[in-house]
Amino acid sequence: LTKLNPNVFKYYCLEKNENNNICSIKLNDYQLKFLSLSSNTKLVKLNILLENDYYLHSKEQFLFQYLQILIVKYHSLTWEKPFIICQYLKQIKIHLKNHWDLVDLLNSLPIVEKVESTIDYDVNSCRDNCLLKKNSYSNKLIYFSYEIHSNNGLVYFVTDYTIIESLIKQFQNLLKLRLYIIGCINTTIDGYHLENNLFKYLPKLNEFDLFIQSYGGYEFKSMDQFSSFKWNFACYTNYLTDM
């Protein structure tokens, strides 16, 4: 359907009223505008290939009310707050503008089991509303992936790792965790830090992948001191002479 002529797609959606017969659909952001699926209880999987960053208006949010699987690729999705509660959504792969959009989204997914998130390069402690509401996350979440998008290789030192860590601590039933964190400054993550600030809050974790890029901090001289830890890890130092 993503290759379907826009006028043909519009005809089937608006004139033939086929919306309510759709169970699974793959769209681009232009086609998304023609859908009216608020009454569709059959749509369980939605795959959106965004050609540009897309803002979801309140009436469009009902697209997600009955979904079980949502995939958003290439560009970021934002929405009118508050985001509708997606009571049936179990699996989501999504590209978002910032960390706080992810927090708002997770608060809208009461039974989600798998979350793969890509965040644009803006992960800091600032948000529009400084009065942080009490968060309520799914206790069924067992797989969580958090990746910071590098914006075509550009690196700015704006990532606050502590807010990412604070979020993950609350997912106590996680079995698998994947982190790809770039743009930190003076942030050193060693085995002791992981054990005391993350792993002790995730007692069921059995698979963990971590990449973190940080500038500054102290240099590891040897990995021997961490040989007794459950998790294996290593580090490397890149001496940048042009900064």
Q: Is the dihedral of CA 99, 147, 163, 242 positive or negative?
A: negative
pLDDT digits (tens, 9 = 90+) for 150-178: 765 556 667 888 899 999 999 999 999 99
SS3 96: strand
The whole-chain average pLDDT of the chain stands at: 80
Q: Which residue has the tokens 């009955």?
A: 66
The CATH fold of domain 44-226 = 3.80.10
DSSP letter at 217?
S
Of 37, 3, 5, the closest CA to residue 18 belongs to: 37
Q: Are 181 and 164 in contact (CB under 8 A)?
A: yes
pLDDT digits (tens, 9 = 90+) for 50-86: 888 999 888 888 878 888 999 999 999 999 988 999 9
pLDDT digits (tens, 9 = 90+) for 90-99: 999 999 988 9
Pairwise pLDDT comparison (182 vs 190), residue with the higher score: 182
The domain limits of the chain are 44-226
Q: Is the dihedral of CA 177, 183, 188, 193 positive or negative?
A: negative
- Identify the helix (H) or strand (E) that includes residue 73: strand 69-73
Q: Are 61 and 42 in contact (CB under 8 A)?
A: no
Of 191, 127, 188, 130, the closest CA to residue 161 belongs to: 188
